[in-house]
Amino acid sequence: MPSSSIYQCNVYLGLDVVKASDVIYGGYFEHRLLSSAQLSLYHQRMMLGDCRLETGNYSFPVIARGCMPSDCVCLSLMAYGSEVTRYNMASVSGNELLIYPEGAELLYHSDGPARWINYAIPREMLQQAIINYSGKSIAISQDRITSLQLDEGEVEKLIKLTDEIFTIGQTHKQSGVSSRGFTQLSDTLLNSYVAAICDAHGVGNLQAKKSLISQRHNNLILDSEYFVMSHDDMNTSLINIAQRTGYSLRALELIFRKLCGHAPGEVVSEYEIERCVTRSINGYGQLFSIQHCYALGFSTPFTIF
């Protein structure tokens, strides 16, 4: 392993949040803003050889969609805000560890301030560490997101360790961490996650995060967003989406309200506004203006649902 870690910290304010596409190293995400309130995203990253430790602190409601890195398994948990957060439209508990296979698609949806932590590690390294700790391997899915309820207090220990590592990284940002210190950091982090996984796995097996029906509904939400975001006109209607997906308007109403907490018309309008904002910030297409809001039936930009 290299003799020094690399610490990175970025703060995104206001509409610059939509530019934060690399919040997970090796992955790609697009952000959808749900509020006009003060926007800030505080992001930290620690490169630990082949592993990466990252955290994102959102001060506002947000939807982010994209994919996880293709070279690592990702172990994710919520430091706070789990009660207002959904992953692929499934709720998450405060003691839950989410395990994402390489390249997993993800829709992150938070209705309020929240902070996530993500630890990315190569599959072979994780499995070997599990065998070293427990004497046997654990079957980690290569194509399905799974979750594990950690023992009481384990999440708090991992959060505390994460904060300590970022503090060390920030303190030694210029000089780097010594070879010995770097190895200790990496080993401590890996062993802590492995111990939490193995101890919890002794109680119950990894659980698939979503049922087949839930996955279909999640795909409906993603497909609807893609349909709206890929059309230049501002007249996309629920009828268009219903015809495209094969669902009735009533079915769309029930699915969207259950998974998003909003009516489909509200979600579609948000997508349309977001498309205008994104294109304006990126410098192409028509500039976002108050006229666009009026055309969509809003009195001001970024109306909260």
E-assigned strands of the chain? Answer: 6-13, 28-33, 40-48, 51-58, 62-67, 73-80, 85-87, 90-91, 96-100, 105-110, 114-121, 146-149, 207-208
Q: Which residues pair with 12 in a beta bridge?
A: 41
Q: Looking at the whole model, is its pTM more than 0.75?
A: no
Per residue in 193-234, pLDDT tens? 999 999 887 544 566 655 444 566 566 666 666 666 555 554
Helix locations, 172-289, DSSP H: 179-201, 212-229, 238-245, 249-260, 264-281
Q: Which residues of 201-226 are buried (b: 16+ CB within 10 A; e: fewer)?
A: beeeebeebbeeebbebbebbeebbe
Which pLDDT band, with edges at 50, 70 and 90, does 6 fall under? confident
How far apart (Å, rounded) are the C-alpha atoms in residues 144 and 62? 24
**Beta-carbon contacts of residue 80 (< 8 Å; ≥ 6 apart):** 113, 114, 115
- 75, 104 Cβ separation under 8 angstroms: no
Pick the CATH number of 6-208 from 2.40.30.20, 2.60.120.10, 3.40.30.10, 2.40.30.170: 2.60.120.10
Is the pLDDT at 125 greater than 70? The verdict is: yes
Question: Which pLDDT does position 287 carry in this prediction?
Answer: 43
Per residue in 55-90, pLDDT tens? 999 998 888 888 999 999 999 999 999 999 988 777
Per residue in 173-200, pLDDT tens? 766 677 777 788 889 999 999 999 998 8
